[in-house]
Structure 1
Amino acid sequence: MSVLLLIPSDPAEASKDSEKSSLEIGKRYSLAVPVVTDSLPQTQATTLPQEDNSLEWVSVEVKKGDVLGAVFRKANIDAATMQAILDSGKDAKTLTRLFPGEQLEFGLASDGSLQELRYTISNLKTLVVQRTAQGAFTAKQLQKEIEVRTEVVAGVISGSFWGSAMKAGLTEAQILDLANVFGYDIDFALDIHSGDTFSVMFERNYAEGQYIGNGAILAAQFTNQGQVYQAVRHTDGNYYKADGGGMRQAFLRAPVNFRYVSSNFNPRRLHPVLGKIKAHNGVDYVAPMGTPIMAAGDGKVIESGMKGANGNYVVIQHANNIQTKYLHLSKRDVKRGEKVKQGDVIGRLGATGRVTGAHLHYEFVVGGVHRNPRTVKLPQAEPLQGVARVKFANNAKQLIAQLKSHERVVLAANN
């Protein structure tokens, strides 16, 4: 793994700089971290062949409505040559899936015959088709070498988690990934408070020195109301606690992507429509109309219908005499008797029934008794075992140490 190091030339100066807390909130820093990860495919890198300067190169952009034959005709290449290229191997078949805005480069000899074709499939892959000495064509996809740099960002929540994470330097996709990693322990719609802190170590991928996208989150720490949660990615692609314990639980804390919550679990709430004390045995999640609603856990749909104050609603029966209920949906995507898996979309957020606005009302019932979905104790997933757990814990210890070190500097700079 290639890692960019930020190392001052004078160790004494480095110590002084550290004391001054020179790291800035929201700025990304690359770290030298021993990481075991299989998040990226270990493909063999190949070098793009030098362009033949004896050829005349013609670039043709694919337009909306173009078929492959039309693209070749713009370069004065006949249909027989096009077919010979398509017959040159499975790699060439990617030419049948072109999109508007993409380009094909045709290398033509002085007599106008096609000698070479190039098509950039992605930031990493290029299709090269070349004519052999015998006049046939060979096609191959060339893969650029990937350089992986490990970076850490950290931040303090002020206002919304989304805004604070964006300010710290995380992308929208990374914010959602982070929420998914800790989604079994933290309800990001309700549990987040100003002053909570987070730090995230992740991969950034480069090809030929050019940034091409982020890789996986390798480790993360979230401090929520004084409670510290940690997660480290294993080589199996799953996340575990720093000691190798399981992260996944039987139920998600929240069955909807976090936005904000209008009403918490409250058995003596003043009903906004009826104007009297009426138990509010669940949590209301306010989000845009049509937001997907997920099954909080594996189970079987025992009710899916429309009824009075509930509006469109779904009830799922889970193991251990647990039920989850989802009310006021605009649409139901499951029927009674269907089996569902955790995370399956079961409906869309709406405003049906007795409501004052669009939201999801979510209930968690154990043995017929309503429990607070935010705080109810949930069973843990299976931990790593034996040698695998020992190796994982040793690696995780180093990653978490790096996270804590970076977060301390950020917190000091924020004070």
Structure 2
Amino acid sequence: MLRILHSLPRTHKLLLLPVATMVTVLGAQKLITTYQDLNRPHTSLESVLVPLPSDSAPGVPSLRQERTPVAEAIDRASRAIDATRDHIPLSDLATTELVYLDMITSAEASMATDAESEAQLDDGALHMAVVLGTLTSGMLNIDDPTPVDIAEATSYEDYGIDLFDDISFLELELAVDEPFVPKWKTHLVESGETFALLAQNELGLGYSEVVALLEDLPDPRIFTHWQAGHSFDYQLDEDGRLLSLRMMKNVRDGVLLEREEEHFAVTTIERQGEAVQRLYAGSISGSFARSAQATGLTSSNVTELTRLLEKKLDFRRDSRRGDRFQVLVESDMIDGRTLDSRVLAVHYDGERMDLTLVRNASDNNFYTPEGSSLDPAFARYPFEGNYRLSSGFNPRRKHPVTGRISPHNGTDFAMPVGTPIVAPANGRVERVGNHHAAGRYIEVRHDNGYRTRYLHLSRPLVSQGERVEMGERIALSGNTGRSTGPHLHYEVIVNNTPVNAMTVDLPENTSLSGDTLIAFQRHAEPMLAALNSGETGTINVANYRRQQSDD
């Protein structure tokens, strides 16, 4: 039988592996010889002489015989290339069993060379051997009730490869390739580290790519002005090149870079926090600022409250020990941190002042429950705080040396160089300049037609044509030009005529009315209810809104 295997083309050897199994294990040669004699006339089975090796076992092979590890290995190899069955992954093969295929070579070497062994099987015997080998290898499911044509249970295709001359491929690690999945990594910026060098050394970017990336950023300073301790997250592709990068300027704002072919798409990150409200309550014991801080309010909250209440309340004259106050504050909660804390409402219940204020969501200004504003349309002073009036408005003032009339068309306030100057009302900057006598100066035309001038400045903070809002910083005071000391010269001009800024009638404060007032009062109801509840600590203003609707 092994002589048959030896005589066949190499491309058919794997097909007849089950036959080789029967030769060495099951003694199939005897069965095939018996089949040949059945086709000879007047020959009985008992009289047939079957040449076998001396150590061969008698008997016909059983389809249910227990299979050896070699048979199992050949079984898997046969099923792996059989085109009539489903594909079997090479990872199912066990290389430690397939190494025993060398027994085919040794079996060929030990075959007798007598004339009987060189006899060729006819086509019927050959086909029978293939069929029986196929059955014993388990390549056909004989329990399947579906009729199967046994003759079609194999393949005689020429695979075009010498499977038995070189089986080194079976020694390779057989594993299924998994798709590449980029992972996020975090880099902590070290002292002296620059993004340009880091991008080239660690992120696989070229110098030109780094330059183009920085040019595409809306604010490149996030990378060019970073500091030690900053961090960013990034992903690399299979080749170690930057795939995406995410860096936060703060807890709320950041930028995301994502590769798109040869450039990076830039997306701005704006994280929205969960709004959390908290009610604080306390009483005056000493200064208002210290009393407010004692309730747990932040320094920024206290500063905001002080500036707000000072528009109606003189703390030095009007506040009394025991005066009570409630403050409703809202913050954004992001990753367990509170950000952008802001005052929503305040109630000051004092001996000389009873005042309640609520922030209006539509314009971010504070109003009384009746809709009256504390902010006048035109502020009396263009600065915050109290500074000494060093020289008042005097159109008949005489020069101290010449004795001639030298009008003083403004009001001078003695203040340190660098004191912030703010716009007393909304308007537009008409002029920013420098004069040998007035020094650096600014002129603003306001929406109501008034104009204001600011002289002897150390530094303007706005440009000509720029729009300014009431309370916005526009300059820093100084001592430039002809000046006897650091101060601000402030002028108010009405109908092209200088007027006394300290006595002129200024536009009255604005108040809400009509639909705007109705909308504000609906918005203020739950906050007023929260102020009056006395429930200090974290609260939910929305609950008070539902209570109002239920009532």
Normalising by the smaller structure, the TM-score range is: 0.5 to 0.7
Is 1:66 matched with 2:194? yes
- TM-superposed CA distance for 1:223, in Å, is 4.7
Q: Distance in 2 between matches of 1:345 and 1:206?
A: 30
Corresponding position: 1:242 with 2:369: yes
**What's the offset of the Cα at 1:148?**
0.6
Name the amino acid aligned to 1:120: M
The one of 280, 301, 306 equivalent to 1:153 is: 280
Identical positions, percent? 25
Q: Which amino acid aligns with 1:397?
A: E
Q: Give the secondary structure class of the aligned counterpart of 1:174.
A: helix
Aligned to 2:246: 118
Alignment of 1:301-340 (within 5 A): none
Name which of 380, 383, 398 aligns with 2:512: 383
Higher fraction of strand: 1
Counterpart residue number, 2:166: none
The equivalent position to 1:201 in structure 2, one of 316, 328, 346, is 328
**Post-superposition shift, 1:213?**
0.9
CA drift at 1:135? 9.3
> Structure 2: how far apart are the matches of 1:321 and 1:315?
13
The alignment's C-alpha RMSD in Å is 5.9
Q: Report how far residue 381 of structure 1 moved.
A: 0.7
Residues 254-281 of structure 1: CA deviation (Å, up to 9, x unaligned): 54323x6679xxxxxxxxxxxxxxxxxx
Q: How many residues align structurally?
A: 332
AA partner of residue 402 (structure 1): A
Counterparts of 2:343 and 2:526, CA distance in 1: 15
Q: Deviations over 1:46-90 (max 9, x none)?
A: xxxxxx98648361527668353x220231513179469949x96
Distance 1:157 1:255, change over 3 A: farther
Aligned to 1:292: 420
Matches within 5 A, 1:223-242: 223=349, 226-239=352-365, 240-242=367-369
Name the structure 2 match of 1:9: none
Could you list the runs of 5+ residues in structure 1 that have no partner in the other structure?
1-51, 264-282, 410-415
Q: Mark the CA change 1:162 to 1:325 in structure 2 (over 3 Å): closer, same or farther.
A: farther
Tell me by how many angstroms 1:242 deviates: 0.9
Q: Which runs of 5+ in 2 are unaligned?
A: 1-179, 390-410, 538-551
Deviation at 1:393, TM superposition (A): 1.6
Distance 1:226 1:286, change over 3 A: farther
Distance 1:288 1:114, change over 3 A: same
Q: Deviations over 1:75-122 (max 9, x none)?
A: 1513179469949x96x6556642222333333456534444332343
AA of the residue aligned to 1:235: A
For residue 214 of structure 1, what is the aligned residue in structure 2? 340
Query: Within 1, Cα distance between the matches of 2:332 and 2:347?
Result: 22
- SS of equivalent to 1:214: strand
| Superposition deviation, residue 226 in structure 1 | 1.8
Alignment of 1:73-152 (within 5 A): 73-79=200-206, 82=209, 86=213, 97-98=222-223, 99-101=225-227, 102-108=230-236, 111-129=239-257, 140-141=267-268, 143-152=270-279
Give distance in 2, aligned partners of 1:339 and 1:141.
27
Q: Is the deviation greater in 161-170 or in 363-372?
A: 363-372
Distance 1:369 1:109, change over 3 A: closer
Please state which structure has a larger fraction of its residues in helix.
Answer: 2
The residue type equivalent to 2:355 in the other structure is Y
Give the structure 1 partner of residue 39 of structure 2: none
| Alpha-carbon distance change, 351 to 141 in structure 1, aligned in 2, over 3 angstroms | closer
Compared CA separation, residues 116 and 214, structure 1 to 2 (3 A): closer
- Cα distance in structure 2, aligned partners of 1:140 and 1:110: 23
**Alignment of 1:166 onto 2:293:** yes
Contact 1:187 1:254 in 2 (8 A): no
Deviations 1:283-324 (A, max 9, x none): 9988754212335446999xx999xxxx99999999999999
Q: Which residue of the partner structure matches residue 526 of structure 2? A: 398
Aligned to 2:534, the other structure's residue is in SS state helix
Q: Which has the larger radius of gyration?
A: 2
Verify the 8 A CA contact 2:358 2:369 in the aligned structure 1: yes
- Separation of aligned partners in 2, 1:330 and 1:62: 39
- Once residues 514 and 500 of structure 2 are traced to their aligned partners in structure 1, the CA distance between those partners, rounded to angstroms, is 35
TM-score norm. by structure 2 comes to: 0.43
CA distance in 2: counterparts of 1:325 and 1:85, whole angstroms: 45
